[in-house]
Amino acid sequence: MKTIAVLTDFSERSAHAAKFALLIAQKIRANVLLYNSFQIPELVGIGRHRGNHDYSEFKNKSKSNLRALSQELRDYFKETVHQPSFTPMIDFQCEEGVVANAVAELEENEDIVLLVIGTHGTDNEQAFLMGNNCLQIIDSANTPLLIVPENTLLKPVEKFVLATDASMSDIDYVVSLSGLAKYFLAEVSVINIIDDFSINEHKELNEHKFKQAIVENMINQNIQYKSVTSYDIKGGFDWIMANINLDVMAMIHRKSSQYDYFLKSSLTKNMANSTDIPLLVFPYPVERLPKF
């Protein structure tokens, strides 16, 4: 059964992200797995070291919080979704360790099609911790990661935007995103960000092949294509945010690329806090992409 895994730290922003994930799960007919990574402080210097008792205490506390969050989500779903055609099952899991390190273990479950995490808030300590988690998870994940700002509206998604550089390898990502969008009857806008004002035959031919491949692989008829020319990647994203009414921004995470640099620098500067638009990050390269 398809599953959405929500990485939670039990903050209000994590609970908000979990509600957004639950609404997606209902649409795509998936279950929800709440996951918490807990860490036990080393009590060196105050008379004792950690032991089995510490592990049991922290794990039981995590389970108790997960149980409470599960019930909160069930109550929210009952109040919000009337006469649902599908009701997601909500399960939970917790393990000791750093959340970014747990991603690989989670991904051993091939039913998981999406990871979800809330963005960092405005308080400095929590912002630092959650910001680092986002960056580490982006680098380690082989599953699409949805990063949900705490002020995202809990409503159906009507428009996805995928930022691309028109590489032919991106076609698989267009297909995957279209598969997700079809459950919402949502539009998909594929935006080719060109960070060069010069025009040449090679560039025009590549763009023509890319658009033709979209048509040939189209599984969602509601796909639009547009190219945007800017002096840099950031300018292209700024244009998208200013000129397109979107509900989810999607991008492909290629390490050591301009997109990667933009993504990391934006998160560390708390860009996500200035917008209510969730960011869907696709890993690249990856053996398989979910068809949803």
pLDDT at 5 over 90: yes
Which tens digit of pLDDT belongs to each residue from 143-184? 999 999 888 999 999 999 999 989 999 999 999 999 999 999
- The count of C-alpha atoms lying within 13 angstroms of the C-alpha of 214, restricted to the half-sphere facing its C-beta, is 26
Beta bridge partners of 226: 191
Mean of the pLDDT values across residues 258-281?
A: 65
**What was the pLDDT predicted at 135?**
77
Beta bridge partners of 189: 161, 224
Of 201, 280, 289, nearest to 246 by C-alpha is 280
How does residue 259 score in pLDDT terms, banded at 50, 70 and 90? Answer: low
Please enumerate in sequence order all residues whose Cβ is within 8 A of that of 212, keeping only pairs 6 or more positions apart, or say none. Answer: none
Burial of 218 (0-12, 13-18, 19+ CB in 10 A): middle
Q: Rounded to whole angstroms, how far apart are CA atoms 4 and 264?
A: 24
Which contacts (CB < 8 Å, 24+ apart) does range 266-270 have?
A: 266/234, 266/237, 267/131, 267/134, 267/135, 267/138, 267/147, 268/131, 268/135, 270/120, 270/122, 270/127, 270/131
Which is more confident, 55 or 221?
55
Which is more confident, 197 or 290?
290
Of 85, 148, 150, nearest to 114 by C-alpha is 148
Which is more confident, 49 or 217?
217
Which tens digit of pLDDT belongs to each residue from 73-87? 999 999 999 999 999
- Read off the pTM: 0.89
Judge whether 115 and 137 are in contact, CB under 8 Å: yes
Judge whether 171 and 214 are in contact, CB under 8 Å: yes
Burial of 114 (0-12, 13-18, 19+ CB in 10 A): buried
Judge whether 35 and 93 are in contact, CB under 8 Å: yes
| Domains along the sequence of the chain with CATH | 3-148 (3.40.50.620), 159-246 (3.40.50.620)
Judge whether 139 and 99 are in contact, CB under 8 Å: no
